Amino acid sequence: MQLTVISGKGGTGKTTIAVALAELEKNTGKVDCDVDAPNLYLYYDGRDMLREEFSGGMKVSVDTSLCTECGLCQSICQFEAIHDGKVNTLYCEGCGACVLICPSKALSLVEEKTAEVILTDTSSGVLTQARMEIGSEGSGKLITVLRKKAQGYAGDDLMIIDGSPGIGCPVIASITATDTVLIVTEPTQSGVEDLQRIVLLCQQFGVKTFVCTNKADINEEIARQIENYCLTNGLCFVGRIPYDDTVLQSINELIPIIYYSGSKANQAIREAWKRIKRQLFVSENKEERKQ
């Protein structure tokens, strides 16, 4: 079973909660799909089982022996990526316009390594992540590759996916074919709007959706609004996680919050996880009875 933890934007506590859930269920596969800002790996030591190059795009390459320095490529490039027959790969979008216009066939598009896919065997399950090359961006294709690699090791066991923030292509790839999504929101006006956008996305994909509010006590009124919104939209609200300084301590010490016994956030996350499991268990039993 795959559970993807997502949020409308970064900084809502998504990773804190994903790590906590992964630790509550031992030997869980973990996938860091927040490829532009991965940080799940900070919590885990282990042995790398696989390191593989990922090519996520094309860049232009110049054969200087054929170039006559006519300047046509420079004039057509909309991204100012080519000057005096030299390519700045950080600017090149791989559109291929210069390749088509070059009269000397001196230009060609070549695949460029944009990331490294890494699978690490940790003491509590396999962690799958990507390390982006400088100047490269995460893509839905990379996230799909990460999830497929992780699936090979997790099999039917629980897999916790730390999803990409936002509502773009990476988050779509994070939730496609996942069994369940947990949306982490926060009680601010922008948090409510982000939540509504991401709920629409989940509904389009027909994925079972849970919602929890992090730092819920910083604005009780909006926290209530979020719960009402969940109620009227048939979403399963699984809990309020209070603001807790221990979370900052946990992030600084790189120890999952569930290991701080006096933490209010720890207790609330444990309760939320129990509710999620109860719901999933009920759904699975219903499915089994139907078969």
Complex with ligand SF4: residue 46 or 94, whichever CB lies closer: 94
- Is residue 114 involved in binding ligand SF4 (CB under 6 A)? no
Q: How many other CB atoms are there within 10 angstroms of residue 189's CB atom? A: 10
Tell which residue, 103, 58, 104, 65, has the closest CA to residue 81.
Answer: 58
Binds ligand SF4 by CB under 6 A, chosen from 25, 93, 179, 271: 93
Give least dist CB 57 to ligand SF4, A.
10
- Is residue 158 involved in binding ligand SF4 (CB under 6 A)? no
- Is residue 77 involved in binding ligand SF4 (CB under 6 A)? yes
Alpha carbon distances (Å) from 14 to 11, 153, 269, 290: 7, 24, 12, 34
Complex with ligand SF4: residue 109 or 167, whichever CB lies closer: 109
Give least dist CB 147 to ligand SF4, A.
30
Sole residue written with tokens 């209010």: 264
Give the per-residue SS3 of 193-233. HHHHHHHHHHHHHCCEEEEEEECHHHCHHHHHHHHHHHHHC
- Is residue 106 involved in binding ligand SF4 (CB under 6 A)? yes
Sole residue written with tokens 């799940």: 40
Segment near ligand SF4 (CB under 6 A); pick from 20-28, 42-50, 73-81, 166-174: 73-81
Binds ligand SF4 by CB under 6 A, chosen from 24, 97, 169, 236: 97
Complex with ligand SF4: residue 98 or 276, whichever CB lies closer: 98
- Is residue 136 involved in binding ligand SF4 (CB under 6 A)? no
- Is residue 82 involved in binding ligand SF4 (CB under 6 A)? yes
Calpha distance 12→56 (Å, rounded): 28
Tell which residue, 2, 15, 24, has the closest CA to residue 43.
Answer: 15
**Strand-pair partners of 127:** 30, 120
- Is residue 182 involved in binding ligand SF4 (CB under 6 A)? no
Binds ligand SF4 by CB under 6 A, chosen from 96, 135, 152, 168: 96
156: DSSP letter? T
**Interface residues toward ligand SF4, by CB under 6 A:** 60, 62, 67-73, 76-77, 79, 81-82, 85, 87, 92-98, 102, 104, 106-107
